[in-house]
Amino acid sequence: MGDRRQETGDRRTRGNFNYWLRSSRLLTFDSAPLLSPSPHLPDEKPMSHVVIIGCGIVGAAIAYELSQVKDLKITVIDKQPPAQASTGAALGVLMGAISHKIKGNAWRMRSSSIQRYETLIPELEAITNRKIPFNRQGILSLCLSEEKKADWQKLAEIRFSQNWKLEVWDAAKLKAVCPQVSNDKISYAVYSPQDRQLNPTALTLALVDAAQRNGVTFKFGVTVNKTPTSTNWCNELETTEGKITADWFVIAAGLGSSLLTAQLNQMIDIRPVLGQALQVSLGHPLGDRNFQPVITGDDVHIVPVDNGDYWIGATVEFPNDRDEIPPDEELLKKVLTQAIAFCPELAQATINHTWSGLRPRPEKRPAPIIGKLPGFDNILLATGHYRNGVLLAPATAYAIREMIIPNDS
């Protein structure tokens, strides 16, 4: 999948980020610049301290982004090691051009994140000497009825006008290019060559490593459990290791954000949605070994991860009346059956392991939630990314940076 060792260049995509941020509603947040002293901070304070709560993909991306700003002291706190919660279960599929978002913040965040990943992955690999599996062969979406073909063709035209590519393939082209796909019900496919997939755990660990090299302090095994504050300014948080004071707090705690914000009397309701997935081993790649895109259809992803190994997932399961989500084995079987229906050779694969995770989904509002916690000037939310936290982490990190250090360019 190509040579990943390229020169570092953390500022190469800034212009693009600034573009979407300038035209984004995020800019309307009334955030005081961190480097101007607030009435609560002594003028002589040498460095401003930012505490990030949560070290999934979102917290780690924010930590790395902020670690490139001079004169910031940054601490990341997590009750677990990095990439354990939702991030540890994610498939890392980055659905940008192939998503139906075409304008506004939703499209800007997707497109700028995908673009940032092109430089971020080689940059992190060069800094940390770690390998981050990054599939640059695009996403192929299988379509089961002609019904929506005109919509896809229209989307392909829109993407063309946005300088992105999206190709609508007929069944003959699909068969020629992806012979592993064999299902009479598939009438056409949509190929998105610029979309990507990556390993979320490897990426999070690399972000932590790179941020650490830039001076960020990580405290794992520490829980933030109480927030003794009632004003619009929070000076300190209580943790299992005592109090921690800071100028800014960023809540990137995924599902844990509900409890933290409830303790601040500003509950942001984030509910879990379970996803189950599995890894199968075929022993050899499906179809053309030199063309291994993510294949997706009917909300099932077939993700090539190694020579002949595939991740398949994921289920989408909501809590029952008692607010529990016991993993439904039948649903996972259904996902595997669907994957086999698309690529029959997968029937010969052996299941290596299965896993599940909880996606953080904001209740009755769109995902993600990025901005100030209502009622507080120095608590920022970067949470509720639901099904797209890996995709949106770079844009989220940049948005948080702009809220802390506005007009940084």
Ligand X SMILES: Cc1cc2nc3c(=O)[nH]c(=O)nc-3n(C[C@H](O)[C@H](O)[C@H](O)COP(=O)(O)OP(=O)(O)OC[C@H]3O[C@@H](n4cnc5c(N)ncnc54)[C@H](O)[C@@H]3O)c2cc1C
8 A C-beta contact, residue 88 and residue 203: no
CB of 149 to ligand X, least distance (A): 25
- Examine residue 198 and tell whether it contacts ligand X (CB under 6 A): no
Tokens of 297: 């259809």
Per DSSP bridges, beta strands 300-306 and 139-143 are unpaired
CB of 97 to ligand X, least distance (A): 14
Give the C-alpha separation, 354 to 312, whole Å: 9
Give the C-alpha separation, 119 to 123, whole Å: 6
- Select the span of 20-28, 79-87, 283-291, 397-405 touching ligand X (CB under 6 A): 79-87
Return the residue of 8, 16, 38, 223 that touches ligand X, per CB under 6 A.
Answer: 223
CB of 354 to ligand X, least distance (A): 11
- Examine residue 79 and tell whether it contacts ligand X (CB under 6 A): yes
Which 3 state secondary structure label does DSSP give 14? helix
CB of 274 to ligand X, least distance (A): 7
- Examine residue 116 and tell whether it contacts ligand X (CB under 6 A): no
Tokens of 380: 């920022």
Could you tell me which residues come within 8 angstroms of residue 149 by beta carbon, excluding any fewer than 6 positions away? Answer: 143, 168, 187, 188
Nearer to ligand X, 79 or 116 (CB): 79
Give the C-alpha separation, 405 to 138, whole Å: 34
Query: Considering only CA atoms, which of 68, 93, 90 is closest in space to residue 13?
Result: 68
Q: Which residues share a beta bridge with 329?
A: none
CB of 116 to ligand X, least distance (A): 14
Return the residue of 54, 287, 297, 304 that touches ligand X, per CB under 6 A.
Answer: 54
Return the residue of 76, 93, 335, 343 that touches ligand X, per CB under 6 A.
Answer: 93
Which run of H or E residues covers position 168? strand 167-170
Nearer to ligand X, 83 or 282 (CB): 83
> Which x/- pattern over 25-44 shows residues binding ligand X (rule: CB under 6 A)?
--------------------
Which run of H or E residues covers position 280? strand 270-281
Cα angle for residues 317, 319, 325 (degrees, 5° grid): 75
The size of the interface with ligand X (CB under 6 A), counted in residues, is: 43
- Select the span of 9-17, 44-52, 183-191, 353-361 touching ligand X (CB under 6 A): 353-361
Tokens of 87: 């991030």
- Examine residue 253 and tell whether it contacts ligand X (CB under 6 A): yes
- Examine residue 297 and tell whether it contacts ligand X (CB under 6 A): no
- Select the span of 18-26, 322-330, 373-381, 389-397 touching ligand X (CB under 6 A): 389-397
- Examine residue 361 and tell whether it contacts ligand X (CB under 6 A): no
Alpha carbon distances (Å) from 7 to 10, 74, 121, 324: 10, 25, 11, 47
- Examine residue 55 and tell whether it contacts ligand X (CB under 6 A): yes
What type of residue is 23?
S
> CB-side exposure of 231: number of CA atoms within 13 Å?
6
Residue 138 backbone class (left: φ over 0; alpha: ψ -120 to 50; beta: rest): left
CB of 55 to ligand X, least distance (A): 5
> Which residue has 């993993």 as its token pair?
327
- Select the span of 37-45, 87-95, 144-152, 282-290 touching ligand X (CB under 6 A): 87-95
- Examine residue 138 and tell whether it contacts ligand X (CB under 6 A): no
- Examine residue 391 and tell whether it contacts ligand X (CB under 6 A): yes
Nearer to ligand X, 58 or 343 (CB): 58
Return the residue of 180, 359, 401, 404 that touches ligand X, per CB under 6 A.
Answer: 359
Return the residue of 48, 92, 237, 405 that touches ligand X, per CB under 6 A.
Answer: 92
Give first-to-last CA distance, the chain, whole Å. Answer: 33
8 A C-beta contact, residue 219 and residue 78: yes
- Select the span of 121-129, 139-147, 249-257, 333-341 touching ligand X (CB under 6 A): 249-257
| Residues in 257-276 at the binding interface with ligand X, rule: CB under 6 A | 260, 275
Nearer to ligand X, 23 or 240 (CB): 240
Tell me how crowded residue 317 is: count the other CB atoms within 10 A of its CB: 20
Chain-centroid distance, C-alpha 78 = 18
Return the residue of 109, 114, 178, 314 that touches ligand X, per CB under 6 A.
Answer: 314
Binding residues (CB under 6 A) for ligand X: these are 53-59, 77-80, 84-87, 89-93, 223-224, 252-256, 260, 275, 277, 313-314, 357, 359-360, 383, 385-391
